Structure 1
Amino acid sequence: MDLMGMMGKLKETQQKIEDTKKRLDDVLIDEQSNDGKLKVTLTANRKIKSITIDDALLEDKEQLEDYLIVVLNKAIEKASNVNQAELDAVTKVDIPMIPGMEDLFK
């Protein structure tokens, strides 16, 4: 087993992971309520970029809070799925599996 080669490969993979994380700051996820009254945009790294609220929702605080919870949770779930898929693609291709180390990359 070429330990130096594997260490180099791990370092290269770490760099690819960092590059992927930076790129995911530019991947935007849009989500909205069923009626379109609340819209949210966030990055695939789960940072909120914008929230647009229809004036009709401003008259009912509870309804607005409900909308925010539902729409933000859906957007975060979508962003998490994109994030995970992108990082999985990098690690699955590049990391040589060493017996007993599989758990480190889950």
Structure 2
Amino acid sequence: MFNFFKKSSPKRKPTPIKRTEPAQVIRMPKMSDKMEFGVVSKWCVRLGDYINSGDVLVEVETDKATMELESYEDGKVLYLSVREGEKVDVNGVLVIIGNEGEDISHLLPTTD
């Protein structure tokens, strides 16, 4: 008999990696010629998560579509810029990835 309710294997958690380079800022990319901002429709990571290159960070809603933004970095999520449903301007800070305890104060967006 086939079991439709069989549990899938648990999602593998990335192993903490000590990065050799400084923390990296992931910015809102310009996904179309007319795009001025994107709306964070869903965060796929949480503050403090360890991630690997290729992991989906966030779902971004634009004027044309909702797209997933993947990480090109390994490390720990040190900063998330906005809540779900809020907008981020093109080239604005979305996420900062680095080592646990790393000083990222110089990378944080300034408020006027």
- Richer in helix (by share): 1
TM-score range, shorter chain: under 0.3
- Richer in strand (by share): 2
TM-score where L is the length of structure 2: 0.25
TM-score where L is the length of structure 1: 0.26
